[in-house]
Amino acid sequence: MTNFLLSVLIPVFNEEKNIDPLLSRLLPIIERYNYEVIFISDGSRDGTREKILAAAHKNPRIKYLGFYRNFGHQLALTCGYLEAKGDCVVSIDADLQDPPELIHDMVEKWQKGSKVIYAKRQSRDVDTYFKKQTAALFYRLINFLSETPIPEEVGDYRLLDKEVVAYLNNLPEHSRFLRGLVAWGGYPAEYVYFKREKRYSGETHYTISRMLNFALDGIISFSTKPLRIASYVGFLSAGVGFMGIIYAIVGKLLLPSHMVTGWTALFVGVMFVGGVQLMTIGIIGEYISRIYTEIQKRPHFLVKERINL
Protein backbone atom coordinates (compact mmCIF):
# COMPACT_ATOMS: atom_id res chain seq x y z
CA MET A 1 0.00 0.00 0.00
CA THR A 2 1.20 3.49 -0.83
CA ASN A 3 -1.65 5.63 0.52
CA PHE A 4 0.45 7.15 3.28
CA LEU A 5 2.84 10.06 3.61
CA LEU A 6 6.56 9.31 3.84
CA SER A 7 8.77 12.03 5.31
CA VAL A 8 12.51 11.94 4.63
CA LEU A 9 14.69 14.09 6.90
CA ILE A 10 18.17 15.10 5.74
CA PRO A 11 20.29 17.22 8.10
CA VAL A 12 23.07 18.97 6.17
CA PHE A 13 26.11 21.01 7.05
CA ASN A 14 28.30 22.17 4.15
CA GLU A 15 27.20 19.34 1.83
CA GLU A 16 27.11 21.37 -1.39
CA LYS A 17 28.61 18.66 -3.60
CA ASN A 18 26.41 15.88 -2.21
CA ILE A 19 22.93 17.38 -2.72
CA ASP A 20 22.44 16.61 -6.42
CA PRO A 21 23.89 13.05 -6.26
CA LEU A 22 21.75 12.31 -3.22
CA LEU A 23 18.54 13.51 -4.86
CA SER A 24 19.33 11.64 -8.08
CA ARG A 25 19.39 8.39 -6.09
CA LEU A 26 16.73 9.19 -3.51
CA LEU A 27 13.86 10.56 -5.61
CA PRO A 28 13.48 7.56 -7.97
CA ILE A 29 13.16 5.33 -4.89
CA ILE A 30 10.51 7.33 -3.05
CA GLU A 31 8.49 8.62 -6.01
CA ARG A 32 6.25 5.54 -5.72
CA TYR A 33 5.01 6.99 -2.42
CA ASN A 34 3.35 10.20 -1.37
CA TYR A 35 6.43 11.87 0.09
CA GLU A 36 8.08 14.98 1.41
CA VAL A 37 11.85 15.56 1.67
CA ILE A 38 12.90 18.00 4.39
CA PHE A 39 16.44 19.36 4.34
CA ILE A 40 17.59 20.93 7.60
CA SER A 41 20.63 23.15 7.00
CA ASP A 42 22.56 23.29 10.25
CA GLY A 43 24.26 26.64 9.63
CA SER A 44 25.85 25.68 6.29
CA ARG A 45 28.30 28.25 4.93
CA ASP A 46 28.87 26.95 1.41
CA GLY A 47 26.46 26.58 -1.50
CA THR A 48 24.28 23.95 0.18
CA ARG A 49 21.32 26.32 0.49
CA GLU A 50 21.39 27.30 -3.18
CA LYS A 51 21.54 23.66 -4.31
CA ILE A 52 18.54 22.71 -2.17
CA LEU A 53 16.50 25.77 -3.19
CA ALA A 54 17.09 25.03 -6.86
CA ALA A 55 15.66 21.55 -6.34
CA ALA A 56 12.81 22.89 -4.15
CA HIS A 57 11.69 25.34 -6.85
CA LYS A 58 11.33 22.45 -9.30
CA ASN A 59 9.69 20.09 -6.82
CA PRO A 60 7.45 21.56 -4.07
CA ARG A 61 7.69 18.32 -2.09
CA ILE A 62 11.33 19.17 -1.40
CA LYS A 63 11.38 21.47 1.63
CA TYR A 64 14.05 23.50 3.33
CA LEU A 65 14.74 24.72 6.86
CA GLY A 66 17.81 26.85 7.56
CA PHE A 67 19.31 27.60 10.98
CA TYR A 68 21.01 30.86 11.91
CA ARG A 69 24.08 28.94 13.05
CA ASN A 70 25.33 25.42 13.66
CA PHE A 71 23.32 23.85 16.49
CA GLY A 72 24.46 20.26 15.96
CA HIS A 73 23.31 17.17 14.10
CA GLN A 74 20.98 15.91 16.83
CA LEU A 75 19.13 19.20 17.10
CA ALA A 76 18.83 19.41 13.32
CA LEU A 77 17.11 16.02 13.41
CA THR A 78 14.96 17.20 16.30
CA CYS A 79 13.79 20.12 14.17
CA GLY A 80 12.99 17.76 11.31
CA TYR A 81 10.91 15.49 13.54
CA LEU A 82 8.91 18.51 14.72
CA GLU A 83 8.19 19.56 11.13
CA ALA A 84 7.55 16.15 9.57
CA LYS A 85 3.95 15.37 8.68
CA GLY A 86 4.52 11.79 7.57
CA ASP A 87 2.91 8.58 8.78
CA CYS A 88 6.47 7.30 8.86
CA VAL A 89 9.68 9.28 8.96
CA VAL A 90 13.09 8.28 7.59
CA SER A 91 16.24 10.13 8.65
CA ILE A 92 19.33 9.85 6.47
CA ASP A 93 22.60 11.74 6.03
CA ALA A 94 23.51 13.50 2.80
CA ASP A 95 26.94 11.93 2.26
CA LEU A 96 25.53 8.72 0.66
CA GLN A 97 27.40 6.43 3.02
CA ASP A 98 23.97 5.07 3.94
CA PRO A 99 22.27 3.86 0.72
CA PRO A 100 18.78 5.30 0.17
CA GLU A 101 17.82 2.09 -1.65
CA LEU A 102 17.06 0.57 1.78
CA ILE A 103 14.02 2.80 2.25
CA HIS A 104 11.71 0.41 0.41
CA ASP A 105 12.69 -2.47 2.72
CA MET A 106 12.18 -0.20 5.72
CA VAL A 107 8.69 0.75 4.57
CA GLU A 108 7.78 -2.91 4.04
CA LYS A 109 8.80 -3.81 7.59
CA TRP A 110 6.94 -0.77 8.93
CA GLN A 111 3.77 -1.84 7.11
CA LYS A 112 4.03 -5.21 8.84
CA GLY A 113 3.80 -3.54 12.24
CA SER A 114 7.26 -2.47 13.38
CA LYS A 115 7.45 1.00 14.87
CA VAL A 116 11.23 1.41 14.50
CA ILE A 117 13.38 0.07 11.66
CA TYR A 118 17.13 0.49 12.06
CA ALA A 119 19.62 0.34 9.20
CA LYS A 120 22.41 -1.79 10.63
CA ARG A 121 25.91 -1.90 9.17
CA GLN A 122 27.00 -5.41 8.28
CA SER A 123 30.43 -4.10 7.32
CA ARG A 124 32.18 -0.74 7.31
CA ASP A 125 35.35 -1.44 5.37
CA VAL A 126 35.44 2.14 4.10
CA ASP A 127 36.06 3.45 7.62
CA THR A 128 39.50 3.65 9.14
CA TYR A 129 40.66 1.09 11.68
CA PHE A 130 40.69 3.81 14.34
CA LYS A 131 37.07 4.81 13.67
CA LYS A 132 35.84 1.21 13.66
CA GLN A 133 37.58 0.42 16.94
CA THR A 134 36.46 3.60 18.69
CA ALA A 135 32.87 3.04 17.52
CA ALA A 136 32.93 -0.52 18.87
CA LEU A 137 34.41 0.72 22.15
CA PHE A 138 31.73 3.40 22.41
CA TYR A 139 28.85 0.95 22.07
CA ARG A 140 30.41 -1.51 24.51
CA LEU A 141 30.98 1.26 27.02
CA ILE A 142 27.55 2.88 26.76
CA ASN A 143 25.76 -0.47 26.95
CA PHE A 144 27.82 -1.38 30.01
CA LEU A 145 26.94 1.90 31.72
CA SER A 146 23.38 2.43 30.50
CA GLU A 147 20.23 0.77 31.78
CA THR A 148 18.81 1.10 28.23
CA PRO A 149 20.42 -1.25 25.66
CA ILE A 150 21.32 0.70 22.52
CA PRO A 151 21.62 -1.28 19.26
CA GLU A 152 25.19 -1.60 18.01
CA GLU A 153 26.38 -0.68 14.52
CA VAL A 154 23.45 1.60 13.86
CA GLY A 155 23.54 5.34 13.31
CA ASP A 156 20.79 7.85 12.61
CA TYR A 157 19.60 6.13 9.44
CA ARG A 158 16.27 4.71 10.55
CA LEU A 159 12.52 4.75 9.97
CA LEU A 160 10.17 5.80 12.77
CA ASP A 161 6.42 5.47 12.93
CA LYS A 162 4.54 8.72 13.59
CA GLU A 163 3.73 7.44 17.09
CA VAL A 164 7.46 7.25 17.89
CA VAL A 165 8.01 10.69 16.36
CA ALA A 166 5.25 12.12 18.57
CA TYR A 167 6.91 10.55 21.61
CA LEU A 168 10.26 12.12 20.70
CA ASN A 169 8.65 15.51 20.09
CA ASN A 170 7.11 15.44 23.56
CA LEU A 171 10.42 14.91 25.34
CA PRO A 172 11.52 18.20 26.92
CA GLU A 173 15.24 17.60 27.35
CA HIS A 174 17.87 19.70 25.56
CA SER A 175 20.76 17.20 25.52
CA ARG A 176 19.27 14.92 22.90
CA PHE A 177 21.06 11.67 22.16
CA LEU A 178 18.45 10.40 19.71
CA ARG A 179 19.84 6.90 19.31
CA GLY A 180 19.32 6.38 23.02
CA LEU A 181 15.96 8.15 23.16
CA VAL A 182 14.55 5.97 20.38
CA ALA A 183 15.77 2.81 22.13
CA TRP A 184 14.50 4.02 25.51
CA GLY A 185 10.91 4.07 24.22
CA GLY A 186 10.95 0.28 23.82
CA TYR A 187 8.90 0.28 20.61
CA PRO A 188 8.91 -2.88 18.43
CA ALA A 189 12.02 -2.71 16.25
CA GLU A 190 13.39 -4.47 13.19
CA TYR A 191 16.61 -4.20 11.19
CA VAL A 192 17.65 -3.92 7.59
CA TYR A 193 21.28 -4.61 6.81
CA PHE A 194 23.72 -2.93 4.48
CA LYS A 195 27.36 -2.46 3.64
CA ARG A 196 28.48 1.07 4.36
CA GLU A 197 29.65 2.97 1.32
CA LYS A 198 32.39 5.52 0.88
CA ARG A 199 31.46 9.14 1.45
CA TYR A 200 30.52 10.61 -1.93
CA SER A 201 32.29 13.94 -1.51
CA GLY A 202 33.92 16.06 1.15
CA GLU A 203 35.26 15.27 4.59
CA THR A 204 33.37 14.00 7.60
CA HIS A 205 32.24 16.67 10.04
CA TYR A 206 32.68 14.31 12.97
CA THR A 207 36.15 15.18 14.22
CA ILE A 208 37.68 13.29 17.14
CA SER A 209 36.61 16.03 19.56
CA ARG A 210 33.02 15.92 18.27
CA MET A 211 32.95 12.14 18.53
CA LEU A 212 34.17 12.34 22.12
CA ASN A 213 31.54 14.96 22.97
CA PHE A 214 28.86 12.85 21.27
CA ALA A 215 29.92 9.78 23.25
CA LEU A 216 29.96 11.76 26.48
CA ASP A 217 26.46 13.12 25.77
CA GLY A 218 25.19 9.60 25.27
CA ILE A 219 26.73 8.27 28.48
CA ILE A 220 25.65 11.20 30.64
CA SER A 221 22.12 11.22 29.18
CA PHE A 222 21.46 7.54 29.82
CA SER A 223 23.40 6.53 32.88
CA THR A 224 24.17 7.62 36.42
CA LYS A 225 26.72 4.84 36.81
CA PRO A 226 29.71 7.20 36.33
CA LEU A 227 28.68 8.90 39.59
CA ARG A 228 28.56 5.53 41.32
CA ILE A 229 31.92 4.58 39.84
CA ALA A 230 33.35 7.85 41.14
CA SER A 231 32.15 6.86 44.62
CA TYR A 232 33.75 3.43 44.30
CA VAL A 233 37.02 4.96 43.16
CA GLY A 234 36.86 7.30 46.14
CA PHE A 235 36.58 4.32 48.49
CA LEU A 236 39.38 2.59 46.59
CA SER A 237 41.67 5.59 46.91
CA ALA A 238 40.93 5.77 50.63
CA GLY A 239 41.85 2.09 50.89
CA VAL A 240 45.08 2.61 48.97
CA GLY A 241 45.89 5.56 51.20
CA PHE A 242 45.29 3.42 54.28
CA MET A 243 47.60 0.71 52.91
CA GLY A 244 50.18 3.42 52.25
CA ILE A 245 50.01 4.39 55.89
CA ILE A 246 50.58 0.77 56.93
CA TYR A 247 53.49 0.50 54.49
CA ALA A 248 55.10 3.62 55.88
CA ILE A 249 54.73 2.44 59.50
CA VAL A 250 56.03 -1.06 58.77
CA GLY A 251 58.92 0.30 56.72
CA LYS A 252 59.86 2.74 59.44
CA LEU A 253 59.91 0.01 62.10
CA LEU A 254 61.53 -2.83 60.11
CA LEU A 255 63.67 -1.11 57.45
CA PRO A 256 64.51 2.30 58.81
CA SER A 257 67.77 2.59 56.85
CA HIS A 258 66.02 2.13 53.47
CA MET A 259 63.25 4.62 54.05
CA VAL A 260 63.33 8.17 52.74
CA THR A 261 61.39 9.80 55.52
CA GLY A 262 58.01 11.07 54.40
CA TRP A 263 58.75 11.23 50.66
CA THR A 264 57.06 8.06 49.39
CA ALA A 265 53.84 8.37 51.33
CA LEU A 266 53.54 12.07 50.55
CA PHE A 267 54.17 11.71 46.81
CA VAL A 268 51.91 8.69 46.29
CA GLY A 269 49.16 10.14 48.45
CA VAL A 270 49.12 13.54 46.77
CA MET A 271 49.25 12.20 43.21
CA PHE A 272 46.69 9.44 43.67
CA VAL A 273 44.14 11.28 45.78
CA GLY A 274 44.55 14.47 43.71
CA GLY A 275 43.90 12.57 40.49
CA VAL A 276 40.85 10.84 41.92
CA GLN A 277 39.45 14.14 43.19
CA LEU A 278 39.88 15.85 39.84
CA MET A 279 38.27 12.94 38.01
CA THR A 280 35.34 12.83 40.42
CA ILE A 281 34.81 16.58 40.24
CA GLY A 282 34.86 16.36 36.43
CA ILE A 283 32.19 13.63 36.41
CA ILE A 284 29.98 15.56 38.80
CA GLY A 285 30.55 18.70 36.75
CA GLU A 286 29.27 16.99 33.60
CA TYR A 287 26.00 16.15 35.30
CA ILE A 288 25.70 19.64 36.78
CA SER A 289 26.27 21.16 33.34
CA ARG A 290 23.32 19.13 32.00
CA ILE A 291 21.15 20.44 34.84
CA TYR A 292 22.29 23.98 34.07
CA THR A 293 21.41 23.57 30.39
CA GLU A 294 17.96 22.22 31.20
CA ILE A 295 16.98 24.98 33.64
CA GLN A 296 18.00 27.69 31.18
CA LYS A 297 15.10 26.59 28.94
CA ARG A 298 16.59 28.14 25.83
CA PRO A 299 15.13 27.04 22.48
CA HIS A 300 16.73 24.01 20.88
CA PHE A 301 17.46 25.94 17.67
CA LEU A 302 16.59 29.11 15.77
CA VAL A 303 15.12 28.76 12.29
CA LYS A 304 16.18 31.46 9.84
CA GLU A 305 14.37 30.39 6.70
CA ARG A 306 11.58 28.06 5.56
CA ILE A 307 10.88 27.03 1.97
CA ASN A 308 7.81 25.01 0.89
CA LEU A 309 6.75 24.58 4.55
Taking 50 as the pLDDT cut, the residues of the chain under it are none
Strand partners, 193: 120
Backbone phi and psi for residue 123, each to the nearest 5 degrees, phi listed first: -150, 150
Helices (H), 203-262: 208-222, 225-254
Cα distance between residue 185 and residue 180, in whole Å: 9
Per-residue model confidence (pLDDT) at position 205: 59
**Looking at residue 127, what is its pLDDT?**
67
CB 195 within 8 A of CB 121: yes
Q: List, edge to edge, every strand of the sheet that includes 62-67.
A: 189-195, 116-123, 154-161, 88-91, 5-12, 34-41, 62-67, 303-307
- Predicted pLDDT at 102: 94
How far, CA to CA in Å, does 296 sit from each of 68, 170, 172, 252, 293? 20, 18, 12, 56, 5
Half-sphere exposure (Cβ direction) of 21: Cα atoms closer than 13 Å: 15
Predicted model pTM: 0.79
pLDDT of residue 138: 74
Q: For residue 183, list its beta bridge partners.
A: none
Q: Which region, left, alpha or beta, applies to residue 248 given φ > 0 means left and ψ of -120 to 50 means alpha? A: alpha
CA 138/CA 68 separation, integer angstroms:
31
Pair 9, 82: CB distance under 8 Å: no
Contact 26, 94 (CB under 8 A): no
pLDDT per position as a tens digit, 238-283: 777 677 777 767 766 776 655 555 666 676 677 777 777 777 787 8
What is the architecture of the domain spanning 5-207+300-307? Alpha-Beta Complex (3.90)
The HSE-up count of residue 185 (CA atoms within 13 Å, CB side) is 21
pLDDT digits (tens, 9 = 90+) for 130-174: 677 777 777 777 777 777 778 888 888 999 999 999 999 999 888
**3-class SS of residue 261:** coil
Please report, as a single letter, which amino acid is at residue 115.
Answer: K
Q: Under a CB-based contact definition with an 8 Å cutoff, are residues 7 and 85 in contact?
A: yes
Give the span between the Cα atoms of 91 and 12, in whole angstroms: 11
d(CA 94, CA 91): 10
Distance of CA 32 to the CA centre of its chain: 31
In angstroms, the CA 114 to CA 129 distance is 34
User: Could you tell me where the beta strands, DSSP code E, fall in the chain?
Assistant: 5-12, 34-41, 62-67, 88-91, 116-123, 154-161, 189-195, 303-307
